[in-house]
Structure 1
Amino acid sequence: MEDRYIKNRGYVLASIMLAMFLAAIEATIVSTAMPSIVSDLGGFSLYSWVFSAYLLTNAATVLLFGRLSDIFGRKPIFLTGIGLFLVGAVLSAMAPSMKVLIGARLIQGLGAGALMPIATTIVGDIYTKEERAKIQGYLASVWGISAVTGPALGGFFVDILSWHYVFWMNIPLGLLAMVGIIYFFDEKVTKEKRSVDVAGSFWVVLTVSSIMVVLVEGGVRIAWVSFPMLILLIVAVGGFLLFMQQERKAQEPMMPFHIWSIPSIRYANLTSLTTGMILIGVSSYLPAFVQGVMEQPAIIAGFTLTTMSIGWPIASTSAGHLLLKIGFRPTSILGGVSLIIGGILFSMLSPEKGPWFAASGSLFIGIGMGLSSTSFIVSIQNSVGWKTRGIATATNMFMRTIGSAIGAALLGGILNGRIKASIEDSSLPDSYTVDSTNELLKEADREALGSKALNILQDALASGLHMVYIGLLVLAIISFFLILKLPKQED
């Protein structure tokens, strides 16, 4: 470990864990509250955009923030990330409509782009190679704490107070984390004149946003065979090619391609892409199934996500020990097997099986994510030095976030398309649309629908979500085969 003159490591770690808690609880508490949010603000067809907008700016900036942290140091970039995250949280809490909420989530995602990768990078800086596996397990325990509090708080806010509190609660936690970093993180950075690859970040935003619009709106608001769709596809392909060209010629590329020559990094990143899609598929749409199809309250929907968030940190902590005993590849393979088991359970999910069956699927997905993601981070950080550790860590986070962003868009598009087709094939009046699914997410609205419309809409939602879960199983199988490509010994 390079000497970065870090003082008060325990306090720094506590502040990092508190900041990570913001992102960790975000995954469970917002997902739990989303059915109530969309029921209040309307616009079920925009449901996936609440997640996609957050993930878009997260994915677009995670590499940029990783590079900036290598240039200017971790501390200023980390504090900037927390500040942006809190601004987005305030605007989200005050949102009067789904469109405003989506805009606020764009800002919140900017902050998240700095939070997770730089928190993990700071740990890589201040702890030795031998200590990192154990400390990464501690960081993963944050997910366990959020698992206990997130769904319970989400259900409490929705059922007793208001969904707005799922955003307001971020403020005191974020401010406390900022104070801890300011006072205890004494970072010494060697000042070097290094360039920032802003152009690369721009091409990432353009490419990813175009792909997401194609996946979410294709066949719903934009016909697959149409001029707007052609333009979007041209922009997406062109943006990707220009990004590749920019990274090759940039003096300080946002994504240095040379790190992809390291097999452990290459296959860890590709697997993170597919597991990111699995993660968003579970966390985004499981509450909608439990509340809209199973007709369970928000707190029960939160419980089905809790098991994933509990399984993740327990598995991640165990991975810290397994890494030292059997190595990162066998540990990752165990994670891949768990993902497949979770995918199989979700592919079999039906209303009759109940919340416990859904929760068991979540548990195995969480275990798979914990074992694999911890193995990937430790392996990556052990493969590079300080000057590239920030961007190497951020690249892995970027791939998982890109996976989540594309997954939210792709799976959301599958869901909306399936619901639309089911409604059109039914005998319901033309006034019923994808947005009519809003009515399933609140008990009073369900009762006002009438038995015929209720059954048709529930069947449409269940059918759409079944297609989503079949997709999750396919992604789990792909992830497993990518994990098998990991080298048997670390570089």
Structure 2
Amino acid sequence: MVLGTVAFGSFMATLDSSIVNIALPTIRRELNTGDNVEWIVLSYLLVTTSTLLIMGRLSDMFGRKRVYMTGFGVFILGSFLCGISWSLWSLVVFRLVQGLGASMIFAIGPAIIGDAFSQQERGKALGLLGTAVAAGSTTGPVAGGLLLQHFGWESIFFVNVPIGLIAIWRASVVLPASAVAGSKGFDIPGALLFLVGVTSLLTGVDFGASPDHGWAHPTVMFLIAAGILLLGCFFYWEKRYPAPLLQLKLFRIKPLTAALAATGLAFIANGSNLYVLPFFLQQLLRLSPQNAGFIMLAGPLTLSIAAPIGGYLSDKMGARWIASAGLLLMATGHFLLSFLHDQWTWHDATWRIALMSLGFGFFQSPNSSSALNSAPVAERGIASSLIAFMRNLGLVFGISLGATVWYATRNSYSMHHLVSPESIAAQIDGMQMAYRVTAGLILITVFISLSRGSNLLKQ
């Protein structure tokens, strides 16, 4: 019952994200947002990523159930306000509220699963949770299309209200009260340094990959430098504060540190793929957005099957080997996609996407289970939020990596061969290089995954 309740919440939060993406063209047209429409997605992503660590700490201090239910309440309020937005910037502000609630849901969900299941069953449970996330990604574009066609863009936010109320009711009935670490004082300076530092860094990275700015733009360099400086100050402060937001001694736990590093690198590769693949399908294979969407469904559909199997196998054989084998499959998928060509049929792309997602499914659940098994019970909330943080951080950096490698290689090809950067040959060369880079990155991740060892805490 606990698994079903948390899975329902994860499904809802993931569904909302994929629904909003498909509604962006409609919102852009009806609210006349121009190129600023990206802030509807960016604002949500920034607030979610920059507050995950804070929410994990609050759940350790005051109890997971209380913070989790509060998160749903904030998410519902934000969704309702988004539905009544009258302009772009009102929608952006209300998306910040919605993202704050989503941060509580994403940060604490895996920790609740970790508390409810023994170490021998956590992998399977987290795999089933991964299936719910994949189902949300799969359902979002379909549900969003139906709502947009019949009820307008506002309905994609209003639909969260009744669903969210059901989720709060189920959480209040099903979720057990968790042990709390007690309040020794909340690290407000550390939280502010982390919040502003991550927001500055991610905004700089997002702008750097944009053709309108570029990495040499003064604003981009300032934001990235400020972000790095503030995060450096955050770690310096955490070493000295008696009740820090993040216990740095956690990083001495080798399986936890390896799992977090592997999460970040794997999601960098995944983010790059999510950015490049739609352009390949629509620009080079000349598929309609609808048909491209159907081909991309091969990813979440395969993931929904592979995630629980990977989790089950990790419970029996150990996370180290299953996660590492999954990464090898994932690297193989990326390497095979590096041979993409405009003469491919949809079959050529689909089975490679499925292979890549099969490996990702085998990796993700065992890796998360390994991290939670390694963390002390009193710090499991912060460990759970660190996993979610590395996931979001990886996606942002991955999108920037994919865009940067693709555009730089494409432009270099056009200069050496005296053709337009928009030519098919230049585009193919750039996309192929993006997948070669991610394949190499995942191979490095395999070695990190293997280094985690198997000496986990027994709890």
**Considering the TM-score relative to the shorter chain, is it more than 0.5?**
yes
Give the letter aligned to residue 341 of structure 1. Answer: T
Q: Which residue of 1 aligns with 2:125?
A: 135
Q: Is the 8 A contact 2:238 2:246 kept in 1?
A: yes
Give the distance between the partners of 2:442 and 2:325, measured in 1 at CA: 12
Q: Which residue of 1 aligns with 2:395?
A: 404
Any idea what SS the aligned residue of 1:252 has? Answer: coil
Give the letter aligned to residue 51 of structure 2. Answer: T
* Stretch deviating more after TM superposition (386-395 or 148-157): 148-157
Q: Is the aligned partner of 1:363 residue 2:357?
A: no
State the Cα distance separating 1:137 from its structure 2 match.
2.5
Q: Which residue of 2 aligns with 1:114?
A: 104
State the Cα distance separating 1:147 from its structure 2 match.
5.1
State the Cα distance separating 1:58 from its structure 2 match.
1.6
Q: Which residue of 2 aligns with 1:282?
A: 273
Q: Is the 8 A contact 2:265 2:445 kept in 1?
A: yes
Match of 1:146 among 127, 131, 136: 136
Q: Is the 8 A contact 1:64 1:197 kept in 2?
A: no
Give the distance between the partners of 1:87 and 1:365, measured in 2 at CA: 37
State the Cα distance separating 1:336 from its structure 2 match.
0.6
Q: Is the aligned partner of 1:73 residue 2:55?
A: no
Q: Is the 8 A contact 1:143 1:312 kept in 2?
A: no
After TM superposition, list the pairs within 5 Å mapping 1:299-448 onto structure 2: 299-412=290-403
Q: Which residue of 1 aligns with 2:73?
A: 83
State the Cα distance separating 1:352 from its structure 2 match.
3.4
Q: Which residue of 1 aligns with 2:195?
A: 205
Q: Which residue of 1 aligns with 2:449?
A: 483
Percent of residue pairs identical: 26
Q: Is the 8 A contact 1:280 1:408 kept in 2?
A: yes
Give the letter aligned to residue 402 of structure 1. Answer: L
State the Cα distance separating 1:273 from its structure 2 match.
0.8
Give the letter aligned to residue 192 of structure 1. Answer: G
Q: Is the 8 A contact 1:62 1:398 kept in 2?
A: yes
Give the letter aligned to residue 268 of structure 1. Answer: A
Give the distance between the partners of 1:418 and 1:242, measured in 2 at CA: 36
Give the distance between the partners of 1:208 and 1:101, measured in 2 at CA: 22
Q: Is the aligned partner of 1:250 residue 2:256?
A: no
Give the distance between the partners of 1:348 and 1:311, measured in 2 at CA: 22
Unaligned runs of 5+ in 2: none
State the Cα distance separating 1:171 from its structure 2 match.
2.7
Give the letter aligned to residue 326 of structure 2. Answer: G
* Stretch deviating more after TM superposition (62-71 or 467-476): 467-476
After TM superposition, list the pairs within 5 Å mapping 1:151-166 onto structure 2: 151-157=141-147, 162-166=152-156
Any idea what SS the aligned residue of 2:343 has? Answer: helix
Q: Is the 8 A contact 1:220 1:416 kept in 2?
A: no
Q: Is the 8 A contact 2:204 2:221 kept in 1?
A: no
Once the two structures are superposed, residues 190-237 of structure 1 have per-residue CA deviations (whole angstroms, 9 ceiling, x without a partner) of 583322223223222322232233333337444654644443343123
Q: Is the 8 A contact 2:121 2:315 kept in 1?
A: no
State the Cα distance separating 1:59 from its structure 2 match.
1.6
Give the distance between the partners of 1:457 and 1:94, measured in 2 at CA: 43
Unaligned runs of 5+ in 1: 1-9, 428-452
Match of 2:223 among 232, 249, 255: 232
Any idea what SS the aligned residue of 2:102 has? Answer: helix
State the Cα distance separating 1:375 from its structure 2 match.
1.1
Give the letter aligned to residue 74 of structure 2. Answer: L
Describe the shift of the 1:477–1:53 C-alpha distance in structure 2 as closer, same or farther (beyond 3 A).
Answer: farther
Q: Is the 8 A contact 2:190 2:245 kept in 1?
A: yes
Any idea what SS the aligned residue of 2:74 has? Answer: helix
Give the distance between the partners of 2:281 and 2:151, measured in 1 at CA: 21
Q: Is the 8 A contact 2:326 2:358 kept in 1?
A: yes
State the Cα distance separating 1:110 from its structure 2 match.
2.0
Give the distance between the partners of 1:280 and 1:309, measured in 2 at CA: 14
Give the distance between the partners of 1:149 and 1:49, measured in 2 at CA: 23
Match of 2:161 among 159, 162, 171: 171
Any idea what SS the aligned residue of 2:344 has? Answer: helix
State the Cα distance separating 1:15 from its structure 2 match.
2.1
Describe the shift of the 1:242–1:463 C-alpha distance in structure 2 as closer, same or farther (beyond 3 A).
Answer: same
Any idea what SS the aligned residue of 1:130 has? Answer: coil
Any idea what SS the aligned residue of 2:231 has? Answer: helix
State the Cα distance separating 1:415 from its structure 2 match.
6.3
State the Cα distance separating 1:269 from its structure 2 match.
0.5
Give the distance between the partners of 1:161 and 1:288, measured in 2 at CA: 29
TM-score w.r.t. length of structure 2: 0.84
State the Cα distance separating 1:248 from its structure 2 match.
0.9
Describe the shift of the 1:356–1:22 C-alpha distance in structure 2 as closer, same or farther (beyond 3 A).
Answer: farther
Give the distance between the partners of 2:135 and 2:196, measured in 1 at CA: 36
Any idea what SS the aligned residue of 1:352 has? Answer: coil
State the Cα distance separating 1:31 from its structure 2 match.
4.3
Q: Is the aligned partner of 1:270 residue 2:261?
A: yes
State the Cα distance separating 1:130 from its structure 2 match.
2.6
Describe the shift of the 1:278–1:108 C-alpha distance in structure 2 as closer, same or farther (beyond 3 A).
Answer: farther
Give the letter aligned to residue 67 of structure 2. Answer: I
Any idea what SS the aligned residue of 1:129 has? Answer: coil
Q: How many residues align?
A: 456
Give the distance between the partners of 1:473 and 1:416, measured in 2 at CA: 18
